[in-house]
C-alpha cells in the first residue's frame, strides 16, 4: 500500500515557542487518520503546514511522493475543511461547491453535473439553489465537505469540523463521516480533541501533546496498550494510583500510596523503589468477583451510582478517600447495590499498566 502523505521530522517554531516538534508519520492511501490532542497542542499548526498555509521551520512533507516545499495551497492536491467551515456567504450551495472546479476552467455543464453528483453523495439532493444561511449546521457541514471532495483531492484535511455542532448532531455526523469516507475512499486526515470522535472513526490515530506525537496506532492499540502515561490518561477514562515499585518480575508489584499491594503490567522492568503511576480502566474492575485467584482485590464503599444506560458506572471511594470509577454492567445482577454499600473489587494484573513518573 502506498502512502498518500509522508511527514518527516517536521518542526514549526513561532519565535522561541515550538508549536510542532519533530513529528514524523505516514498516512496510507484510503485510510482515515486522526490526530488527537488537547487544545493548543499544535494540531491546527500541523494541518496548516500540510495544506500549505504555513511553511515548516524544518523537516520534509511529501504528498504522493512529491515534495511540497514551497508549493502554495492552490497547487497542492489536498483540500481543507475549516474549523468554522468558511463557506462563501455570497454564493449559494452549487456556487460554493463548483467554486474550485470553475477555477480549474471546467465547462459549466460538467461542473453542474459533478455538483449534482456530489450533493447526492453527501445526501443533500436538490439543495443546490439554497443560500448558505438557509442551511442547518449539519447541512453546512456536508456542503463544506462536498466542496472539498468535488476537487478529488489526494488527501482531505478536516480541522475539528464537528466542533461547532451540538452533541446529538455530532454523534450522528461521526457515523456519517465514517461511512462517507468508506464510500469515496479518499484519504482523510482528521483533527480533533474529542477522543471518542477519533476512536469511532479512525483507522489510525496519532495522539499529540505539546507539539509531539506521543503514540501512533489503531484505536484498539491506543486504548488497550497506551505507551505513555499521557495516552493512558487522554484516551478513554482511566483510574490511577501512584505508588512505588516493590518488585519487578513477570508482573510489577507496586505499593500504592494508600498502602495496597497490586500486581500489574509494565512496558519495561523498573528497579524497586521507582515511583510509578498505575492506570486501570473502569471496565477492568470487577464487582464482587466469585473467583479471586490471581486477582488484585480491595474493598471500597459506593459513593454514587452514575446511571447512563449501558455506560452506567459506580463512583466508589477507597478508605483513604481516593475515588475510582467502576463499570456497572446492566444485567440486573448488581441492582442491590446502593450508595453507602461496601463492596469488594477485583482486577486481573494484565489489565493494569504502570509507567514511571
Kindly list the residues in this chain that would bind ligand ATP in the complex (CB under 6 A).
14, 17, 19, 37, 39-45, 193
Q: Smallest distance, Å, CB 237 to ligand ATP?
A: 20
Considering only residues 20, 36, 124, 151, which one is a binding residue for another protein as defined by CB under 8 A? 151
> In this complex, which beta carbon is closest to ligand ATP, that of residue 49 or of residue 97?
49
Piece of 46-54, 59-67, 190-198, 342-350 that binds another protein (CB under 8 A): 46-54
- Alpha helices (runs of H) in the chain, residue ranges in sequence order: 43-51, 93-103, 108-121, 137-149, 167-184, 195-201, 219-224, 229-234
Site string for another protein, 54-93 (x = CB under 8 A): ------------------xxxx---xx-xxx-xxx-x---
The partner in contact with residue 215, picked from Mg ion, another protein, ligand ATP, none with C-beta cut-offs of 5 to 8 angstroms by kind, is none
Look up residue 51 and give its three cell numbers: 495544506
Helix, strand, coil percentages (3-state) for the chain, rounded to 5, are: 25, 35, 35
How many residues bind another protein (CB under 8 A)? The answer is 23
Smallest distance, Å, CB 305 to ligand ATP?
Answer: 34
Binding site partner of 229, from Mg ion, another protein, ligand ATP, none, Cβ cut-off 5-8 A by kind: none
Alpha carbons 36 and 351: distance in angstroms, whole number: 23
Q: Which does 40 bind (CB under 5 to 8 A by kind): ligand ATP, another protein, Mg ion, none?
A: ligand ATP
What is the C-alpha to C-alpha distance for residues 152 and 275, in angstroms, rounded to an integer?
Answer: 52
Is residue 44 close enough to count as binding Mg ion by CB under 5 A? yes
Which residue do the cell numbers 443533500 mark? 124
Whole-angstrom Cα distance, residue 18 to residue 142?
34
Q: Which three cell numbers stand for residue 202?
A: 479512525
Q: Are 314 and 337 in contact (CB under 8 A)?
A: yes
Which of the 8 DSSP states describes residue 304?
Answer: E
* Residues near another protein (CB under 8 A): 51-53, 72-75, 79-80, 82-84, 86-88, 90, 99-100, 103-104, 147-148, 151
Amino acid at each position: 500500500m502506498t502512502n498518500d502523505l509522508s511527514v518527516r521530522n517536521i518542526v514549526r517554531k513561532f519565535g522561541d515557542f515550538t508549536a510542532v516538534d519533530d513529528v514524523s508519520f505516514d498516512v496510507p492511501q484510503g485510510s482515515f487518520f486522526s490526530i488527537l490532542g488537547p487544545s493548543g497542542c499544535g494540531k491546527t499548526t500541523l494541518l496548516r503546514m500540510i495544506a500549505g498555509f504555513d511553511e515548516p521551520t524544518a523537516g520534509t512533507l511529501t504528498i504522493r511522493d512529491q515534495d511540497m516545499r514551497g508549493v502554495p495551497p492552490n497547487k497542492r492536491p489536498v483540500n481543507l475543511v475549516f474549523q468554522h467551515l468558511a463557506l462563501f456567504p455570497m454564493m449559494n450551495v452549487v456556487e460554493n461547491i463548483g467554486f474550485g472546479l470553475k477555477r480549474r476552467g471546467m465547462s459549466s455543464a460538467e461542473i453542474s453535473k459533478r455538483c449534482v453528483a456530489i450533493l447526492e453523495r453527501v445526501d443533500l439532493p436538490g439543495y443546490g439553489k439554497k443560500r448558505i444561511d438557509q442551511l442547518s449546521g449539519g447541512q453546512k457541514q456536508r456542503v463544506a465537505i462536498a466542496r472539498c471532495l468535488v476537487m478529488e483531492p489526494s488527501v482531505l484535511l478536516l480541522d475539528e469540523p464537528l466542533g461547532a455542532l451540538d452533541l446529538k448532531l455530532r454523534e450522528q455526523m461521526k457515523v456519517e463521516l465514517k461511512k462517507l469516507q468508506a464510500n469515496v475512499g479518499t484519504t482523510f486526515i482528521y483533527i480533533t480533541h474529542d477522543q471518542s470522535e477519533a476512536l469511532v472513526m479512525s483507522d489510525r490515530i496519532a495522539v499529540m501533546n505539546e507539539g509531539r506525537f506521543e503514540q501512533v496506532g489503531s484505536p484498539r492499540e491506543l486504548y488497550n496498550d497506551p505507551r505513555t502515561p499521557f495516552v493512558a490518561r487522554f484516551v478513554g477514562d482511566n483510574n490511577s494510583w501512584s505508588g512505588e515499585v516493590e518488585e519487578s518480575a513477570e508482573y510489577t508489584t507496586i505499593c500504592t500510596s494508600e498502602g495496597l499491594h497490586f500486581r500489574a503490567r509494565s512496558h519495561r522492568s523498573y528497579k524497586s523503589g521507582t515511583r510509578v503511576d498505575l492506570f486501570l480502566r473502569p471496565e477492568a474492575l470487577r464487582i464482587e468477583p466469585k473467583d479471586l485467584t490471581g486477582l488484585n482485590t480491595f474493598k471500597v464503599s459506593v459513593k454514587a451510582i452514575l446511571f447512563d444506560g449501558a455506560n452506567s458506572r459506580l463512583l466508589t471511594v477507597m478508605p483513604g478517600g481516593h475515588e475510582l470509577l467502576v463499570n456497572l454492567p446492566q444485567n440486573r445482577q448488581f441492582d442491590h447495590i446502593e450508595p453507602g454499600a461496601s463492596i469488594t473489587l477485583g482486577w486481573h494484573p494484565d489489565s493494569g499498566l504502570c509507567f514511571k513518573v
